[in-house]
């Protein structure tokens, strides 16, 4: 059975991208309070041009900024059980889910996409922090397993961009079980000899850091991101003293040997392209039979952009350039 | 001295009455023995009734009971020639997690688990069973050792969670737990975990991604403590009983959710009332689980372990 066609057939979704109608033409930087014109904000990949503060990115923007020409194809994720515990606190979990779905336009806190980076085929899984704090429940675990499966089937590296407060409490013990499940996903990619790169973004904490997010062959952290296991308040309550300057920030993790590098957002794509190139094309260029050319080759499964599918993606069989796996 | 929990008050009152009567026997009153017998029967009945329908919040208290048998008690009674092995070879020896090789019912095994301690001194020594990165790195080292010599691994889980501290974060608590889970899922030897008291979040799953997961009848296993959950979702720590219900953290819940494979019955009134009996049933359950896994090809074992976790929770789909 062909998993790609029968299980998570990549759908060319006419993306209902929340067409940015800026409510405000001016944004205030949460760090330095200076005003930023919305066009400058977009141009600078949501990094404050005054102080360099890296604002959180939704997965659509994240994927568009990483893939060649901002083109990629999202993968329809397997269905996961909804509200397995029938959880309710002051509010029902199903209602919280519906709210988050309406707000983000996503089914859950993860998006998995396939596309090219400098011509190289890559699978990227990006988290949506707006969706219940990017928390990890069964659906996110399924997303990670699907991303790994897709990477193995397409013989493509896997890049994961977490932004998550940790486990999703409302799924109780099943959310905790996503830790081993996502570790298995990573293991499958590694066993296939494929690179697995993690890009830690603000914030990545709790059960997410204590599983797939710390197991990258290469660990990259975006500047100034909060990354850690225990919450700062929990630690303060335990040790009863204030935390050191810059505690749990990317730069602090680098200093303590926990990540390979800290990058500015504008350098992220070039860094990934360089690293993936080194890990994938290991012999002199002359020996590489067909170095993919980003200008002439289109992604094999078609693609889409925030503006909707491009004409080329609908023409012909998207699988034609590759034998069925 | 047995510590009584609040919901055990009627039982405690009866038992102190029995104690009083026993002192009176010295006066030579003949009806006293009969009276004690009656009261004892009443205590037993009450214990049985109470423990048969404990609320989730009460289970939390029993699971954390200070008199409950801990790692050291189990190992002392079940493992011969136990040889503790210390250190992560990088930074420190973390006494919150004990690990060592020994003989269990004839077979050499590796045993690891958290030790909470039983008095102030030992609690501090073992950091209340809250391990730091070096503890989880020691486990990785020992599991690799077990794999090299084809020793089955027994993990006894009993922790409120991994230690939240500045040093622990600096030394990579998250990475240490992630690698520990990875190691559990990688080793080609049988791996059986038993939640003997408290299975607290990441600090617990780090050593519980196992072929078989056993839970004691009144143990708990949760993604977050009910107090922590209440303070976040209810914004009120006193709602912990509500959170304990919502989280579905009892052994019975976990069996139903497919996370625990088996529930091990505790003596009437909980493991803390009869250490020997409790340890014996856990020993038998571990032996059964290990004998089912013994002799299985390592690669198959590992594949099945992974498949089990991939499937986990998906049956609730219907
Ligand atoms: Zn700024």
Residues A57-112 pLDDT 10s = 999 999 999 999 999 999 999 888 999 999 999 899 999 999 999 999 999 999 99
> What is the CA(A52)–ligand 1 centre distance, in A?
6
The shortest C-alpha distance from B166 to chain A (Å) reads: 7
pLDDT in tens, B265-314: 999 999 999 999 999 999 999 999 999 999 999 999 999 999 999 999 88
**Is the CB of residue B245 less than 8 Å away from at least one CB of chain A?**
no
A54: left (phi over 0), alpha (psi -120 to 50) or beta: beta
Q: What is the pLDDT of residue A164?
A: 98
pLDDT in tens, B106-140: 999 999 999 999 999 999 999 999 999 999 999 99
> What is the CA(A154)–ligand 1 centre distance, in A?
40
pLDDT in tens, B69-114: 999 999 999 999 999 999 999 999 999 999 999 999 999 999 999 9
Q: What is the pLDDT of residue B97?
A: 98
- Chain B hits for A181, Cβ within 8 Å: 309-310, 312
- CA-nearest residue to B233 within chain A is A89
Q: What is the pLDDT of residue A292?
A: 58
Q: What is the pLDDT of residue A242?
A: 84
> Of B22, B268, B177, B36, which is closest to residue A182 (Cα–Cα)?
B177
pLDDT surpassing 90 at residue B173: yes
pLDDT surpassing 90 at residue B20: no
- Chain A hits for B206, Cβ within 8 Å: 210
Mapped onto helix, strand or coil, the DSSP state of residue B179 is: helix
Q: What is the pLDDT of residue A287?
A: 58
Q: Which residue has the tokens 């839970």?
A: B215
Mean pLDDT score, B27-34 = 72
Domain ranges of chain B: 6-53, 60-317
**Is the CB of residue A39 less than 8 Å away from at least one CB of chain B?**
no
Domains in chain A (CATH in brackets) are: 3-13+57-306 (3.90.226.10)
Q: Superfamily for B60-317?
A: 2-enoyl-CoA Hydratase; Chain A, domain 1 (3.90.226.10)
Residues of chain A where predicted confidence (pLDDT) is lower than 70: 1-22, 286-325
- CA-nearest residue to A216 within chain B is B175
Q: What is the pLDDT of residue A291?
A: 58
Which of B 174-213 lie inside 8 A of A, CB atoms?
Answer: 174-175, 177-179, 181-182, 184-186, 201-202, 205-206, 209
Q: Read off the pTM.
A: 0.90
Q: What is the pLDDT of residue A21?
A: 57
- Chain B hits for A145, Cβ within 8 Å: 310
Mapped onto helix, strand or coil, the DSSP state of residue A198 is: strand
Distance CA A252, CA A232 (A): 14
> Of A183, A181, A188, A117, which is closest to residue A151 (Cα–Cα)?
A188
Where is pLDDT greater, at B249 or A312? B249
% of residues, chain B, pLDDT over 90: 89
Give the count of alpha carbons within 13 A of A9, CB side only.
8
Radius of gyration of chain B measured on its C-alpha atoms: 21
Q: What is the pLDDT of residue A266?
A: 97
> Of B214, B151, B157, which is closest to residue B188 (Cα–Cα)?
B151
């Amino acid at each position: 059975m062909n998993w790609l066609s029968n299980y998570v057939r990549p759908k060319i979704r006419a993306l209902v991208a929340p067409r940015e109608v800026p409510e405000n033409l001016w944004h205030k930087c949460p760090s330095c309070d200076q005003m930023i014109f919305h066009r400058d904000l977009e141009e600078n990949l949501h990094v404050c041009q005054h102080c360099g503060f890296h604002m959180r990115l939704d997965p659509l923007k994240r994927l568009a900024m990483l893939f060649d020409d901002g083109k990629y194809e999202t993968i329809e994720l397997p269905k996961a059980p909804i509200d397995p515990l029938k959880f309710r606190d002051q509010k029902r979990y199903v209602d919280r889910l519906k709210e988050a779905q309406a707000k983000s336009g996503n089914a859950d806190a993860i998006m998995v996409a396939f596309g090219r980076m400098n011509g190289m085929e890559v699978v990227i899984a990006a988290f949506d922090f707006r969706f219940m704090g990017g928390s990890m429940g069964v659906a996110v675990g399924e997303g990670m397993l699907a991303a790994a499966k897709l990477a193995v089937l397409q013989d493509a590296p896997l890049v994961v961009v977490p932004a998550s407060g940790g486990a999703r409490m409302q799924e109780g013990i099943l959310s905790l079980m996503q830790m081993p499940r996502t570790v298995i996903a990573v293991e499958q990619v590694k066993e296939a000899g494929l690179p697995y790169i993690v890009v830690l973004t603000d914030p990545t904490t709790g059960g997410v850091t204590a599983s797939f997010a710390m197991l990258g062959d290469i660990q990259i952290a975006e500047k100034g991101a909060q990354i850690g296991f225990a919450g700062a308040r929990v630690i303060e309550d335990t040790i009863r003293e204030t935390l050191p300057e810059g505690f749990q920030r990317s730069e602090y993790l680098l200093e303590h040997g926990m990540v390979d590098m800290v990058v500015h957002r504008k350098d992220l794509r070039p860094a990934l392209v360089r690293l993936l190139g080194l890990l994938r094309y290991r012999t002199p260029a002359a020996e590489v039979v067909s170095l993919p050319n980003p200008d002439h080759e289109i992604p094999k499964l078609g693609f889409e952009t925030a503006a909707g599918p491009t004409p080329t993606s609908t023409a012909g069989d998207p699988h034609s350039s590759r034998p069925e796996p | 001295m047995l510590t009584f929990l609040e919901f055990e008050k009627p039982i405690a009152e009866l038992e102190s009455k029995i104690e009083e009567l026993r002192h009176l026997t010295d006066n030579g009153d003949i009806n006293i023995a009969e009276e004690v017998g009656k009261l004892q029967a009443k205590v037993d009945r009450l214990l049985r009734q109470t423990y048969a329908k404990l609320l989730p919040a009460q289970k939390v208290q029993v699971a954390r009971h200070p008199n409950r048998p801990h790692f050291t008690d189990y190992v002392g009674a079940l493992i011969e020639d136990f040889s503790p092995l210390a250190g992560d070879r990088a930074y420190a020896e973390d006494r919150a997690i004990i690990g060592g090789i020994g003989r269990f019912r004839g077979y050499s095994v590796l045993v690891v688990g958290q030790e909470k301690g039983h008095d102030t001194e030992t609690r501090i020594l073992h950091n209340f069973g809250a391990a730091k990165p070096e503890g989880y790195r020691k486990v990785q080292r020992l599991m690799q050792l077990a794999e090299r010599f084809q020793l089955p691994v027994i993990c006894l889980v009993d922790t409120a969670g991994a230690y939240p501290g500045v040093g622990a974060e600096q030394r990579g608590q998250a990475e240490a737990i992630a690698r520990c889970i990875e190691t559990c899922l990688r080793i080609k030897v049988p791996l059986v975990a038993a939640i003997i008291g408290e299975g607290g979040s990441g600090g617990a799953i780090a050593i519980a991604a196992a072929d078989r997961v056993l839970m004691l009848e009144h143990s708990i296993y949760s993604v977050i403590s009910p107090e922590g959950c209440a303070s976040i979702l209810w914004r009120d720590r006193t709602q912990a009983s509500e959170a304990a219900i919502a989280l579905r953290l009892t052994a019975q819940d976990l069996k139903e959710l497919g996370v625990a494979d088996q529930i091990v019955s505790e003596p009437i009134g909980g493991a803390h009332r009869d250490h020997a009996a409790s340890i014996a049933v856990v020993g038998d359950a571990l032996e059964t689980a290990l004998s089912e896994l013994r002799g299985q090809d390592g690669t198959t074992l590992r594949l099945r372990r992974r498949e089990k976790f991939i499937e986990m929770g998906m049956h609730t789909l219907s």
